[in-house]
């Protein structure tokens, strides 16, 4: 089945994963900037990472016929050192005009600290200054509920922000209403052990208006599955969702959000 993977960390995945995704019907991959699993030792490490995201990874994906796009930022886990984070953020304008950049992301909070919040707000301002869409990470496990509330409160301080161009990711049952009721898009991340399982994601789809929801695998170097989105489509089919409804969630919805980014194109 045709689908878009709107959140995958392909720098951490093998070439075999690209092949499997292509065979499964993946029509586009979007890759937010994230934590490498360890803290970089210098801001210049991010310059190489942004080169990888904007230059090398699109070429790797193209070998399998999949367009590859990216989001740029310094991730929340490395934002606690605000001075370091600002040095990294100063590099972003050098890459913002690259032809596959969609916007600023995945920004947000990790341990819900004051420094993380300050850097988050500076990223939002950067996106506004360049008229870019925003992809927001919400914290893990016990920190998610508080972090989602703090994120939404902080966004309320930006009256010029178009909420239709902001997606708040990794929602679960206890945060999805907060995000949708505030007028933002919400992403459900399909993980085997944390975030949403396939069944729970379908539960959320069955109990919410689906116009501003998308699914993603957020596959990375941890426990994750690059085929999770299409497997969730199969889970929907097992639960008697119509093919049109499956296509809407797996393809039309992400396409509708991402089409607000001038660089997003499906050839």
Partner 1 sequence: MPSKQELLDLQFIGARCQLIDLAAFLDRVDRHEGKSDFRLDALKKALPLLLEDRPDRARAVLEAFSDHSAEPAAKATIQGAFGAPTP
- Contact status, residue 186 vs residue 148, Cβ threshold 8 Å: no
Does 206 contact partner 1 by CB under 8 A? yes
Q: What is the DSSP letter of 69?
A: E
Give the binding range for partner 1 (CB under 8 A) out of 3-11, 49-57, 109-117, 158-166: 109-117
Q: In this complex, which beta carbon is closest to partner 1, that of residue 110 or of residue 216?
A: 110
CA atoms within 13 Å, Cβ hemisphere of 141: 3
- Residue bearing tokens 């050839």: 267
Q: In this complex, which beta carbon is closest to partner 1, that of residue 101 or of residue 198?
A: 198
Residues 59-88 that bind partner 1 (CB under 8 A): 77, 80
Among 200, 208, 231, 256, binds partner 1 (CB under 8 A): 200
Give the binding range for partner 1 (CB under 8 A) out of 19-27, 43-51, 54-62, 141-149: 141-149
- Contact status, residue 180 vs residue 209, Cβ threshold 8 Å: yes
Cis before 106 (ω within 30)? yes
> DSSP states of 154-221 as a string?
HHTT-TT--GGGEEE-S--TTTHHHHHHTT-EEEEEB-SSSSB-HHHHHHHHHHS--TTEEEE----S
Residues 229-248 that bind partner 1 (CB under 8 A): 238-240
Q: In this complex, which beta carbon is closest to partner 1, that of residue 115 or of residue 164?
A: 115
CB 160 → partner 1: shortest distance, Å? 23
Among 16, 41, 114, 267, binds partner 1 (CB under 8 A): 114
Structure tokens at 167: 């997606």
Contact footprint for partner 1 (CB under 8 A):
77, 80, 110-117, 139-146, 149-150, 172-174, 199-200, 203, 206, 238-240
């Amino acid at each position: 089945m045709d689908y878009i993977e709107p959140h995958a960390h392909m720098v951490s995945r093998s070439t075999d994963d690209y092949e499997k995704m292509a065979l499964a019907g993946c029509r586009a991959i979007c890759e937010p900037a994230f934590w490498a699993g360890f803290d970089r030792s210098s801001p210049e490490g991010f310059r190489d990472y942004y080169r990888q995201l904007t230059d090398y990874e699109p070429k790797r994906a193209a070998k399998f016929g999949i367009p590859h796009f990216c989001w740029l930022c310094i991730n929340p886990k490395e934002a606690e050192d605000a001075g370091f984070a600002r040095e990294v953020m100063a590099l972003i304008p050098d890459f913002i005009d690259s032809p596959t950049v969609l916007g600023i992301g995945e920004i947000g909070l990790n341990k819900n600290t004051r420094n993380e919040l300050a850097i988050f707000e500076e990223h939002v301002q950067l996106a506004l200054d360049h008229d870019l869409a925003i992809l927001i990470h919400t914290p893990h496990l016990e920190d998610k509920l508080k972090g989602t509330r703090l994120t939404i409160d902080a966004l309320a301080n930006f009256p010029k922000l178009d909420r239709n161009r902001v997606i708040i990711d990794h929602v679960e049952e206890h945060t999805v209403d907060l995000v949708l009721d505030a007028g933002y898009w919400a992403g459900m991340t399909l993980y085997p052990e944390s975030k949403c399982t396939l069944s729970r994601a379908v539960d959320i789809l069955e109990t919410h208006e689906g116009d501003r929801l998308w699914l993603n695998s957020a596959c990375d170097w941890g426990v994750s599955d690059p085929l999770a989105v299409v497997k969730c489509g199969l889970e929907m089919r097992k639960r008697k969702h119509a093919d049109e409804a499956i296509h809407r969630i797996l393809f039309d919805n992400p396409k509708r959000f991402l089409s607000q980014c001038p660089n997003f194109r499906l050839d």
